[in-house]
Amino acid sequence: MILAIDIGTTAVKCALFAGGNSTGAGSAAPGSCAAVGRAPVAADGVREETNAHVWSGAVRSAVARLPQGAEAVTACVVTGNGPTLIPCDAAGEPVGSALTWLHARARQEAGEVAARTGVAVDASFPLPKALWLARQRPAVFERSAWLLSCAEWVVFLLTGCAHTAIGARGVDRFYWSDEALAALGLDAARFPPFAVAGEEIGQVTRRAAEQFGIAAGARVYAGAADFQMALIGSATVEAGRTLDRSGSSEGINHASPVPVDDPRLIVAPHLVDGLHNLGGVTSASGRALSWLAHSASPAPVEVSAAVERGAAAPAGARRALFLPYLSGERTPHWNPQATAAFLGLTLRHGWDEMARAVLESVGFAIRQIIAILAEHGCRVERLTACGGPARFAAWNRIKADVTGVPVRTLANPEADLVGCACVALTAEGHFEDLASAAAALVRPGREFDPERSLAGLYAELFDAYRRAGEALQPLYPHLGGDRGTVDP
């Protein structure tokens, strides 16, 4: 059996897939999903900083909740949210707070890294975080033996082996180099060696088997960032295909045969040879809806109810707009100081119209990324949606209407987990390459076509959304408050 683990922002998900070693009548085909487990991540995990044990604890709980045990696991791949950074000692024990992907205080350091390396990096990326940690918390930095992401740390706990999962060669430029570390005065010994997806890192130790309930001796292969795994697990493995990876944040990833030069996008080699991933991200999509349902409602409601009420409100939300910058914003602004805003509210508007505006705002954010791709000749003909929010048919329909692009779901929306299974099965020799594995494992779900009668309305509102986001940029340094920090 193959065990896939995905450490999300709010939950850890794991799944068992048939490994292809069974024989005889009734044997499951390689990659068939046999069981799924899920456990919530403690609320502390959605802050700028957290105790790393919220992740390891959730992994243990998720594995324990598998309907059938993980004692038959022969191979494992772990992916996770990021960029995250955990300073830990040689035994893997954290020596300070983990810096989550929401940590964006390393703006000055990001500028220095870009100047040294020539590569534009965000304040949330690993090297700016590491430099910030060395300067702001030197005692923690000095006590650390390794600096690991949440997924890499779990792999270390499983195997005792440290690595940095870059997915594909060429992606390492977004991490570090020996020259960059030396120029910045950082000890290279704390930065683990790079590993590409499918590279064997080690085997599950007996101690880890007792702690996590995973079979001792199971081979652990390097994965990649969650969005990279989702590209494989959604079959976004051919030029022209586009993934809408939805969750706490929203990532649009387009497979292109050539790279482009645009600072608004993240451009990196794809895990499939010959392709490049052109990515854009909006920082709060699912989290924006959760915020509306739990914190900005007169009486807290379930997220599903918020989707239903918003979908029932008039298209265009009676011309109200929401800028979903609750966690700053990435594409196209890359501004961690950006804050959210409702615009156009009048006495005619109620909570349902506000819910509709939040749902539509994610569509507008996606449309803005699609427009940037179009500037480079990259035509998005369909969005393949995966992740938790992709389960909401009403939201998929709104995304299709707002963007003007058909949205197709997957039979298994947990593309990160399917991608992990593809990596393991390819590493174990069951498939020639990742594209072949994706073709065998990924199946389409429903398709949602845009309502053409709404095209004019949404074109007008999108123009207002885009102009509002640009116009408010000068105000953001004067706005905003606590984004969820914790004491060091």
Query: Domains of the chain: which residue ranges?
Result: 2-224, 235-488
pLDDT over 70 for what percent of the chain? 96
| Cα 336 from Cα 106, distance rounded (Å) | 10
pLDDT at 21 over 80: no
- For the ranges 42-51, 158-167, 182-191, the lowest mean pLDDT is seen at 42-51
| Cα 456 from Cα 463, distance rounded (Å) | 11
pLDDT at 442 over 80: yes
pLDDT at 484 over 60: no
**Using 50, 70 and 90 to split pLDDT, how confident is the model at 68?**
confident
pLDDT at 449 over 70: yes
| Cα 244 from Cα 256, distance rounded (Å) | 15
| Cα 470 from Cα 476, distance rounded (Å) | 11
- For the ranges 14-18, 70-74, 156-160, 424-428, the lowest mean pLDDT is seen at 70-74
pLDDT at 369 over 50: yes
pLDDT at 255 over 90: yes
As a whole number, mean pLDDT of residues 454-464 equals 98
pLDDT at 485 over 80: no
Residue 345 confidence (pLDDT) = 97
pTM: 0.92
**Using 50, 70 and 90 to split pLDDT, how confident is the model at 356?**
very high
- For the ranges 71-85, 371-385, 472-486, the lowest mean pLDDT is seen at 472-486
Q: Do domains 2-224 and 235-488 have the same CATH topology?
A: yes
Residue 488 confidence (pLDDT) = 31
Tell me which fold the domain 235-488 belongs to: Nucleotidyltransferase; domain 5 (3.30.420)
**Using 50, 70 and 90 to split pLDDT, how confident is the model at 119?**
confident
Residue 487 confidence (pLDDT) = 35
As a whole number, mean pLDDT of residues 37-63 equals 90
* Domain at 2-224: CATH code: 3.30.420.40
Residue 248 confidence (pLDDT) = 87
Residue 24 confidence (pLDDT) = 43
pLDDT higher at 116 or 20: 116
Residue 45 confidence (pLDDT) = 59
- For the ranges 39-43, 105-109, 175-179, the lowest mean pLDDT is seen at 39-43
Residue 71 confidence (pLDDT) = 77
Residue 104 confidence (pLDDT) = 85
In tens, the pLDDT along 397-410 reads 999 999 999 999 99
Residue 234 confidence (pLDDT) = 98
pLDDT at 42 over 90: no
Axis-axis angle for helices 226-233, 415-427 (nearest 10): 80
As a whole number, mean pLDDT of residues 335-344 equals 94
